[in-house]
């Protein structure tokens, strides 16, 4: 916009503009199409070490008379509803009172939920630092923020930061994909048991799918282990709750 | 003309940050900086709008204006440089505010944000030089 440019000057300018545009667009496209740094492999061969000592994430007293295992997928909307609407009541009424031990196992539906495994892995990495259930809640509460993202890793990293995790250790855990085998093992187990949708609850060897609400779970636990009028006992059991 | 080229460069920097923020690009290439800390902080939004989107729209606006000012009519006049100086001056102030947040509130520096701050400052300086050239002419 200085003195009116000469024809040669304009030619150089437009050449520069075109070159910069091509380089810029090329760089952006390259970065968009480049595979994400964090990638959790699907259908990995499960090693014995993947499952050693791990049988899911457990909340509640080891002495609780009833155990329910949930097979779920963090990207599944029904699991989200269950986790955010039904679970608080289940936790308050059953887990904290020592009547129920709740076990969470991954059943990632990778075919329809591309972020299922990476979210499960984020939870596993949070578990390394003792914040599994906090990350579980974050993932379900914020599902709408990451479910459709091509790369959800930054959102999960942000959750890790918000939860006060050591982010460097968390990042290393995510990049290593060290829990891919464990997640796969959990999925394999679910398939063996006949699980085909999420959420599915396993109660006393029987699978329970479809409409699952806290009232039904409370009734079920009541039927399996009727309440005894012993408040002191319940108090001591509640100490094991998450 | 320098302002147009710099604005185009700014468009790509802001576009990169915005695409990252909406999840279309993987991890930010940031060297030893803390780009993701800054981008994921609450200060990455201003009045509910992504800062990177504000930057993108700002650079696009300056680019469109400076290209339009290259037409034969306004090309020899001083006012386009003045308008560019005002627009980029606002950008410089906004960048100063954001850099202050990085240094004193977030305690992390995003190299791309610093790059954008340098670009908008360069546009501001170039537009001031343009004005001077026209004054002298």
Could A3 and B24 be called an inter-chain contact, meaning their C-beta atoms sit closer than 8 Å?
A: no
A21 within a domain of the structure (yes/no): no
Give the pTM: 0.58
Interface of B with A (CB under 8 A): 1, 3-5, 8-9, 11-12, 15-16, 19-20, 22-27, 29, 36-37, 39-40, 66, 69-70, 72, 74-76, 80-81, 84, 127, 129-130, 133-134, 137
A214, part of any domain: yes
Q: What is the pLDDT along chain A (242 residues), one digit of tens a residue?
A: 444 556 677 888 888 889 989 999 999 888 887 765 677 777 677 888 888 888 999 999 999 999 999 999 999 999 999 999 999 999 999 999 999 999 999 999 988 998 999 999 999 999 999 999 999 999 999 999 899 887 888 899 989 999 999 988 998 899 888 999 999 999 999 999 999 999 999 998 899 887 788 999 999 898 888 766 555 544 544 444 46
A104: containing domain: 49-238
Nearest residue on chain A to B26, alpha-carbon basis: A36
Question: Minimal Cα–Cα distance from B82 to chain A, Å?
Answer: 10
Domain housing B51: 2-136
Number of domains in chain B: 1
- Interval B88-97: pLDDT, tens: 999 999 999 9
User: What is the secondary structure of A101-152 as a DSSP string?
Assistant: EEEEEE---TTT-TTHHHHHHHHHHHHHTT-HHHHHHHHHHTHHHHTT-S--
CA separation for the pair A144, A112 (Å, rounded): 15
What residue has token string 């650079």?
B59
Contact B27 A155 (CB under 8 A): no
- Please check whether residue A43 lies inside any domain of the structure: no
Cβ <8 Å between A20 and B37: no
Do you know the residue count of chain A?
242
- For the question of an ipTM over 0.95, the answer is no
Of A1, A3, A17, the CB nearest to B84: A1
What is the domain-level CATH number for residue B95? 1.20.1440.130
Distances (CA, A) of B109 to A43, A135, A169, B26, B105: 39, 27, 20, 19, 11
Of the candidates A175, A135, A172, the residue with the CA atom closest to the CA atom of residue A155:
A135
Q: Distance (Å) from the C-alpha of residue B28 to the closest C-alpha of chain A? A: 9
pLDDT of residue B29: 76
The answer to whether the CB atoms of A1 and B39 lie below 8 A apart is: no
Whether A152 contacts chain B with CB within 8 A: yes
Give the number of domains in chain A.
1
What distance in Å separates the CA atoms of residue A188 and residue B59, rounded to the nearest whole number?
51
Determine whether the interchain pair B37/A161 forms a contact, defined as Cβ–Cβ distance below 8 Å: yes
Residue A216: CATH number of its domain: 3.40.30.10
């Amino acid at each position: 916009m200085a003195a009116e440019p000469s024809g040669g000057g304009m030619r150089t300018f437009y050449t520069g503009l075109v070159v910069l545009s091509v380089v810029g667009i090329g760089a952006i496209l390259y970065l968009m199409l480049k595979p994400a740094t964090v990638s959790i492999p699907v259908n990995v061969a499960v090693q014995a070490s993947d499952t050693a000592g791990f049988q899911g994430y457990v909340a509640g007293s080891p002495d609780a008379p009833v155990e329910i295992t949930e097979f779920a997928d963090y990207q599944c909307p029904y699991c989200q509803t269950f986790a955010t609407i039904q679970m608080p009541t289940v936790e308050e009424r059953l887990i904290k009172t020592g009547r129920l031990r709740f076990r969470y196992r991954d059943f990632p539906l990778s075919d329809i939920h591309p972020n299922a495994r990476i979210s499960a892995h984020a939870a596993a990495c949070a578990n390394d630092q003792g914040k599994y259930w906090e990350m579980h809640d974050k993932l379900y509460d914020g599902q709408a923020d990451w479910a459709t993202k091509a790369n959800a890793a930054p959102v999960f990293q942000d959750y890790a930061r918000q939860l006060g995790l050591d982010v460097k250790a968390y990042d290393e855990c995510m990049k290593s994909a060290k829990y891919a085998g464990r997640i796969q093992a959990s999925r394999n187990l679910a398939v063996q048991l006949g699980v085909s949708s999420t959420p599915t609850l396993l109660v006393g060897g029987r699978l329970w799918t479809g409409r699952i609400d806290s009232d039904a779970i409370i009734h079920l636990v009541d039927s399996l282990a009727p309440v005894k009028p012993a408040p002191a006992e319940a108090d001591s059991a509640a100490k094991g709750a998450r | 003309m320098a302002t147009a080229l710099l604005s185009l460069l700014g468009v790509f920097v802001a576009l990169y940050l915005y695409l990252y923020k909406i999840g279309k690009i993987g991890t930010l290439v940031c060297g030893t900086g803390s780009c993701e800390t800054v981008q994921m902080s609450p200060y990455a939004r201003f009045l509910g709008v992504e800062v990177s989107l504000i930057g993108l729209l700002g650079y696009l606006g300056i680019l469109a204006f400076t290209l339009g000012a290259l037409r034969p009519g306004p090309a020899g006049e001083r006012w386009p440089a003045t308008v560019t100086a005002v627009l980029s001056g606002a950008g410089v102030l906004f960048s100063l505010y954001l850099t202050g947040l990085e240094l004193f509130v977030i305690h992390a520096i995003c190299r791309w944000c610093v790059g954008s701050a340098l670009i908008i400052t360069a546009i501001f300086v170039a537009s001031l030089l343009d004005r001077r050239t026209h004054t002298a002419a």
